[in-house]
Amino acid sequence: MYQPSESSPTSASVDLTALAQNVAHVRRLAPRADVLAVVKANAYGHGAIEISHALQKLAVRRFGVATVDEGIALRQAGIQDTILVMGATVPAQFTELVAHRLTPVLYRTDLIPTFAAHARTAPTPYPVHIKVETGMGRLGVSPHELLELLSRSELRGPLRLEGLMTHLADADNRDAGQTEEQLARFQQVLNQVQIRGLAIPLIHVANSAGIIKYPTSLHSLVRPGIMLYGYHTLSKDTQTPELQPILTWKTTIAHVHTISPGGSVSYNRTFIASRQTRVAVLPVGYADGYNRLLSNRGQVLIGGRRVPVIGRVCMDMTMVDITDVPGVQVGEEAILIGQQSSERITASDLAAWQQTIPYEILCAIGSRVPRRYLPLDSPAGAASQSS
């Protein structure tokens, strides 16, 4: 696997002490629930292996991934705790899934006997979770199918029904109607389970938005994702905890030059200077995850001030206008995400400029950007690294 150089001028630093603060918020909001930390998509771009090891030090013992391969990577990195594969799986993956002791989420009735055939080699009944479709319109058995499924003999060996879950589709919306309907449907399912006298150890619904906004979504397990990394997508009028963004993305100015009025910057001449303009060239581009949609729209921090991106963002370089920041020199730091002096740019800012969500911004930071980790209880504290 490609490993970027530690001397790279562009890097992302991840503050594990800030991660600890965010975990504490989860536990404060859901004090009676166990925590399953969602570390899929390389822990939303933060580094799944390093984040998982840090979470283990914070007494998190359950991890959620989207794919079997993500789960295997954690096993190979020494993560021996429970790993729940929450995404789509196919029977061709079941042998590896069992070999690496990954826990599947089963979402179709026909997967039960198929997976049971693979799990017969396990020394004890193999734990599985079942997903119920309550309104996401994605994966999951219907409530009616579930009640029939629960009577299947496979769930009394070789399988053990460890968990029952659903997924909230609209929990970050200001209008609570859809979420309340989903929660009501899932509660009806739980009532039927109780009537049948079935004991299922782990019941889980709450994602990050659910943990923050919907106390009725809190059961025996919660699944924080984006809030671990310091973000949420709830409306501004929702009371939210003081989450700490844990990632700072920075680069180093590679070149500075001046163009005259009428001069242009980058491909297709989308920026034409109306004044004498001092330009800083940053060695970061869309191949690193700094999206081309930020062309003539984004901002970065240099010298403690916001400066605009000018011209097209290139594959490997981005240009910014530093005319109004005196004394900027080659080698100075530029912050793409993070804080510099009193100014801050967040993944939510980049998301707004690109008309997307912070999830996508963080997940898109490329593999050639090295991640550097500030240890738990580091002198830097919970603050993102700044100049």
Annotated binding site for substrate: 138, 315
Nearest residue to 302 (alpha-carbon basis) of 274, 317, 281, 285: 281
Q: Which residues are annotated binding-site positions?
A: 138, 315
CA 198, 200, 204, 205: dihedral to nearest 10 degrees? -10
Of 317, 320, 256, 351, whose CA–CA distance to 45 is shortest? 351
DSSP result, 161-208: EEEEE---SSTTSS--HHHHHHHHHHHHHHHHHHHTT---SEEE---H
- For the chain, give the number of residues: 387
Give dist(CA 191, CA 58) in Å, integer.
34
Question: Active site includes 231?
Answer: no
* From 107, 126, 267, 373, the catalytic residue: 267
Pairwise CA distance, residues 119 & 116, whole Å:
5
Annotated catalytic residue within 40, 131, 213, 250:
40
* Bridge partners for 252 per DSSP: 333
State the amino acid at position 19 in one-letter form: L
Q: 138 burial class (0-12, 13-18, 19+ CB within 10 angstroms)?
A: exposed
**Residue 330, both tokens:** 């080659």
Regarding beta strands 277-282 and 255-259, do their DSSP bridges make them parallel or antiparallel, or are they unpaired?
Answer: antiparallel
Q: Is 2 a catalytic residue?
A: no
Residues that are catalytic: 40, 267
